[in-house]
A and B are shown apart, each in its own frame.
Chain A
Amino acid sequence: MGLLDLLRRLRRADREVRLLLLGLDHAGKTTLLKRVNGEDYADVTPTTGFNVKAVQANGVKLHVWDIGGQAAIRPYWRNYFENTDVLIFVVDATDKDRLDEAGVEFNQLLAEPKLAKVPVLVFANKQDVPDALPADAVATALGLNTLRDRAWQIQACSAVAGTGVQEGMEWACKTTK
C-alpha cells in the first residue's frame, strides 16, 4: 500500500481530495501517515506544525494533512478545516486517562460549521499494545453511535504493526463525495 495506490481508488470525478488527520498529541497521527506512505517511522518526533503529503497522478490530486495535537496548538486546527473531504481522528486506545479529553476535542470538531457533514473516520490506534481498548469502547466514548448527520467509521488499527490502517484509508477514499 502507498499513497499512490490510495489515489487510484479515488473516483475519477474527484479532482482534488483533502484528508485531515487530527487527534490528541501522541495519538500516532504522524506514524500512521508514515505507515500509509510506506516510510520508516523510527524517527518520528512530536509535530509542532503540519506534515502534508501531496500526491498527483492522472490529473487527480490527494492531499493528506497531519496537524500537531498538543494542547497549545489545537486552537490552530480551525485554520485547516476548509475543503476537507474526510476527517480522520486518531485516538490512542491505550491512553484511558485522556479518552474523555479526546471525546471533548472530537465533539468540538463535529460542531464546526466548516466540518459539517464531512465524513469521519476514527482510528482506535495502538492495538498492538495488550491493554488497548477495543474499537467499540472508543466509539462509545466518542459518542459515535449517536451521530446522525454524517457518514462515520471506526477502525481498530496499529500504525506500528500496520494492521487496520489500509482498511481505514480505503473507507476514507471510498466515502469521498
Chain B
Amino acid sequence: MAAPAVSPNNVIKAGTALAVPALRLNWMKIKDAHSGYAIWSSTDLSTAFQGEMKVSMPIDLLKCHVVARELNFTLLSPQPLGHLRVKQEFLVNGMVMEEWDFEFGFVIPNSTNSWETLMEGDVEAARELDEADWEGTEVVVLTRFFDGERELGTFRLAMAYTQ
C-alpha cells in the first residue's frame, strides 16, 4: 500500500487522501482535571488532519493544577488496526515541554474511541512565567497517529492565550 503523501512539516496536505484505513478526528476537549470542567472544546475536527487548527484559549487554563486533554476519533474502516499508537507533544515557542507516547494497539473496525490524558506536575518551568509572558506565546499540541511505523496523520492544535 502506498504511504500517504506527507508535506515537509508532516502535516497531510489538504485534499490528500489518507491511506486506508483512515482515522477521523471528531473532537478534542481541554479540561480542568480536578473539576472535570471543560475549559475548551473543539468544534468538528473531521478535517483536522489536513492542517493546523488555531484557537484562542482562556488564560484561566494556566491556573489549573492538572489539565486533562481528551481526543475522540473514529476508525473509518471495516478492517481493524493492529498497532495504533500516538505521539503527543506539548510545545511552547517550539520547545517540547511535555511528551506522551501511548500505545492503543488494536482498534475495532468502524469504532469510535476516546483517549484522555492527565498529567500532574508537568510544565513546571512554563508555570513560572506570569500571565503577561503567556500572551503572544505560541503553544502547540502536536498529535501524531501511527499504525506500527506507518504514519496515519498529524493533528496540530495551535493555541494562543487570551484574557
Contact = CB atoms under 8 A, between A and B. Distances in A.
Interface residues on A, range: 20 to 34
Interface stretch (B14-22, B111-119, B131-139, B149-157): B111-119
A58 B106 CA distance: 28
A44 to B, nearest CB: 11
A69 to B, nearest CB: 12
Interface residues of B, number: 27
B35 A49 contact: no
B93 to A, nearest CB: 24
Given A40-B36, A68-B108, A80-B106, A52 B114 contact: yes
B113 A4 contact: no
A53 interface: yes
Interface string A79-93: 110100000000000
A23 B15 CA distance: 41
Nearest to A79: B106
A37 B108 contact: no
A95 to B, nearest CB: 23
Contacts, number: 73
> Interface majority SS on B: helix, strand, loop or mixed?
strand
Interface in A34-51: 37-40, 47-51
Interface string B104-130: 111110111111111111000000000
Interface in B79-119: 80, 100, 102, 104-108, 110-119
A52 B114 CA distance: 6
Contacts of B108: 48-50, 68, 73, 76
